[in-house]
Chains A and B, each alone.
Chain A
Amino acid sequence: MVNMMEDFNSETDSDYTSYWRDWFVSSRGNEYFCEIDEDYLTDRFNLTGLNTEVPYYQYALDLVTDVFDLDADDDLREQIEKSARHLYGLVHARYIVTTRGLAKMLDKYKKCDFGKCPRVLCDGHPLLPLGQHDLPNMSTVKLYCPKCEDIYNPKSSRHASIDGAYFGTSFHSILFQVYPALNPEKSLRRYEPRIYGFKVHAAAALARWQDCCREDMQDRLAEFGMSQKFVEESDSEEENYEYGEENETVKTEKVAGDAASARMDLGN
């Protein structure tokens, strides 16, 4: 890696190209990251507080913005390189909740760059990265499925070592607040364990209990003049025939939730 950087630096840095960021974003294992704009990085306001978090902060920032020209030995270079990656990650968490960052991450989401939901009944819905903490070195990156609203571990080990703080806890929620139309339709389908064709009682009883919870939620939402539509697939109708009455009412109701939607203004 050090050698690679030397190669980059030995070339003429005539143009204001994003060598380091280009390299970082396209290198293996960093597929989840998007490229941060030069403007965003050079605005000191966006970096508030990071100088205490990152060692060799100034050198690291220089490296990220491709103005690094220090003759350092390999050890120091490696340290700075490490700091630069850490700094980039922390700025990344802030960048992806801005308008530009959201748009970039949305593109990646649509391209399935973050993988697909492992849950069979989500039919490979695209995932979004998230951290469980906003502080670094607490947990690794996880993946959020907007269809089942649950979080999963990345399947590849090279992603499993990325710090979750580089994406933050809020990003995916903000994305759907800003682009509510992209929120996928939720499904009622669930796995029904069977033994020789017979439903397993423990699982079925829990499913019935969960259905009651879901109806309670729909009642709560109805109080606010909203209704939650669930996609009814043909194969789940038979399973849910006991609740067919309720489901039909849900289906016929129109989504009238605009009044209560809490759209988040990000100041842009």
Chain B
Amino acid sequence: MSSSEGAPESWISSFCSLMGHEFFAEVSEDFIEDDFNLTGLQSQVPMYKEALEMILDVEPEDDEEEEEEEEEEEDDDEVLGDERPLGYRKAGDRRHARVASDLSVIESSAELLYGLIHQRYITSRPGIQQMLEKYEMQHFGVCPRVNCGGCKVLPVGRSDTPGQETVKLFCPGCMDIYTPPNSRFHSVDGAFFGTTFGCLFFMTFPDLSVGTRLDGPLSAGPLSAAARAQSTLTNRSTPPQMPNEPPTPEDQPVEINGMHTSNFCPGLGRGKIYDPKIYGFKVSEVSRVGPRMKWLRMKPRDVYEVDEARNYELNAADREEEVREHEAREREADNDGDTEMNAEQSQEAVIANRKKAPLRRRRQEPSQTAPSDQMSVQSAEIA
């Protein structure tokens, strides 16, 4: 390594300390040196070998050795049949007079390669751990949405292919993505973070308290008594209790759809939806320019409503009951004697009910809470 100069800084750490590169984690050299982790990148990055050498701070070897190696490399490449830019073949010839422009090409290749490795690294165990530290130190900033209350965000991409979109910020409080406020990040490629990282992060650390509330499972330990008192105070004051709305159902599950209920979009739902008002009066939905986008920030008060498997079972029981009723009615009609007419009627009824069933499944009234559903099912079964 470059021992000739005092206190050398590795390419990786100097890259990560560049302006605008604050979101990047420092990929460990072990990760890069494992060829398995680089599978397929050779075809995506021009001047791959040189770029990799640059990232790992490998000194270019002596000319003779290098040329030999280069030849070998080229042979390998031909065997592999990789797609290469035409200029690559001549790289060996040009090597003797490597000029500044050549270096800058390698530099940009190295940045691309590092970004693509980074995309993979932050979904690995050590990488995601490193990002956790950065997340907790709020390196990625907070959600700009007022009702998210300064929820910490994560950098994500909208595409895994480089060169398509710049980096965005994912807020777990509202499950939405935002443009970074600082323009220095508007030139960072989103693919260097990838589409997977955002959600994978929060699934890897499910106990992480996502919202701003202090009563999360993680904050239970080192919280001082005063802070605890304050947090309970603020908690009590935050939910604006509407007089005409029923209180939140209390028997909420600990987990919903693989997340802690407390972490399930804490920035959405009642009290977190902006309500436009004119001189204190709400703007009616029926107004031509009334609010139309509230659904985007809605969340069921009773999280069981998004437990689709459970709802399906409840509805299935409902449907079975209906079918049974109709069968019974048909049987009664059969017994009556004037079979033909009644049979026709009941058939129509069955068809009508069949039509109705999927509609009901799809369109669940927000007011229709799960417990009452269960009640009705139970009572139906008893009957």
Instruction: Enumerate chain A residues within 8 angstroms of B248, measured Cβ to Cβ.
Output: none
From known contacts A150-B145, A152-B144, A170-B278, infer whether A214 and B265 are also in contact, taking CB-CB under 8 Å.
no
**Interface membership of A226, Cβ < 8 A:** yes
Knowing that A191-B177, A221-B286, A262-B287 touch, tell me 11 more A-B residue pairs with CB under 8 angstroms. Answer: A118-B179, A119-B178, A142-B146, A150-B274, A170-B279, A186-B292, A186-B293, A202-B306, A205-B308, A206-B306, A228-B292
Q: Which of B168, B293, B306, B365 contacts A150 (CB 8 A)?
A: B293
- Complex interface bits, A190-202 against B, C-beta within 8 A gives 1, otherwise 0: 1101111100111
30 sampled A-B residue pairs with Cβ under 8 A: A120-B158, A120-B178, A144-B274, A148-B293, A148-B296, A149-B292, A150-B147, A151-B274, A152-B144, A153-B145, A155-B181, A169-B277, A183-B288, A190-B296, A191-B176, A193-B175, A194-B196, A197-B195, A201-B258, A202-B257, A202-B306, A208-B306, A209-B298, A209-B305, A213-B298, A224-B286, A226-B286, A226-B288, A261-B288, A261-B289
- The interface stretch among B16-24, B198-206, B227-235, B370-378 is B198-206
**Interface membership of A258, Cβ < 8 A:** yes
Q: Which of B179, B259, B276, B292 contacts A202 (CB 8 A)?
A: B259
- Chain A: CB-nearest residue to B255: A202
- Chain A: CB-nearest residue to B366: A213
Interface residues on A, range: 35 or more
**Interface membership of B170, Cβ < 8 A:** yes
The CB with the most chain A CB atoms within 10 A, among B170, B177, B295, B365, is that of B295
Q: How far is the CA of A250 from the CA of B309 in the complex (A)?
A: 29
Q: How many A-B residue pairs have CB under 8 A?
A: 164
Chain B positions 185-210 with a Cβ under 8 Å from a chain A Cβ: 195-196, 198-200, 203
Chain A positions 30-77 with a Cβ under 8 Å from a chain B Cβ: none
Give chain A's interface residues, CB within 8 Å of chain B.
118-121, 124, 132, 142, 144, 147-153, 155, 169-170, 172-174, 176-177, 180, 183, 186, 190-191, 193-197, 200-203, 205-206, 208-217, 220-221, 224, 226, 228, 257-258, 260-264
**Interface membership of B356, Cβ < 8 A:** no
Q: How far is the CA of A149 from the CA of B274 in the complex (A)?
A: 7
Q: Assess the B195–A151 pair: CB atoms within 8 A.
A: no
Instruction: Enumerate chain A residues within 8 angstroms of B177, measured Cβ to Cβ.
Output: 119-121, 191
Q: How far is the CA of A190 from the CA of B265 in the complex (A)?
A: 15
**Interface membership of B124, Cβ < 8 A:** no
**Interface membership of B283, Cβ < 8 A:** yes
Q: Assess the A202–B256 pair: CB atoms within 8 A.
A: yes
- Chain B: CB-nearest residue to A210: B295
CB of B96, distance to nearest CB on chain A (Å):
45
**Interface membership of B90, Cβ < 8 A:** no
Instruction: Enumerate chain A residues within 8 angstroms of B176, measured Cβ to Cβ.
Output: 119-121, 190-191
Q: Assess the A202–B258 pair: CB atoms within 8 A.
A: yes
Instruction: Enumerate chain A residues within 8 angstroms of B306, measured Cβ to Cβ.
Output: 202, 205-206, 208-209
Interface of B is mostly: loop
Q: Assess the A195–B203 pair: CB atoms within 8 A.
A: yes
**Interface membership of B138, Cβ < 8 A:** no
Instruction: Enumerate chain B residues within 8 angstroms of A172, measured Cβ to Cβ.
Output: 276
Q: Assess the A208–B308 pair: CB atoms within 8 A.
A: yes
Instruction: Enumerate chain A residues within 8 angstroms of B182, measured Cβ to Cβ.
Output: 155
From known contacts A148-B296, A152-B145, A210-B296, infer whether A177 and B168 are also in contact, taking CB-CB under 8 Å.
no
**Interface membership of B118, Cβ < 8 A:** no
Instruction: Enumerate chain B residues within 8 angstroms of A183, measured Cβ to Cβ.
Output: 288-289
**Interface membership of B212, Cβ < 8 A:** no
Q: Assess the B175–A206 pair: CB atoms within 8 A.
A: yes
CB of A226, distance to nearest CB on chain B (Å):
7
Q: Which of B178, B276, B284, B295 contacts A262 (CB 8 A)?
A: B284
**Interface membership of B121, Cβ < 8 A:** no
Q: Assess the A149–B258 pair: CB atoms within 8 A.
A: no
Q: How far is the CA of A170 from the CA of B144 in the complex (A)?
A: 21
- Chain A: CB-nearest residue to B300: A209
CB of B360, distance to nearest CB on chain A (Å):
11
Instruction: Enumerate chain B residues within 8 angstroms of A221, measured Cβ to Cβ.
Output: 285-286
**Interface membership of B114, Cβ < 8 A:** no
**Interface membership of B364, Cβ < 8 A:** yes
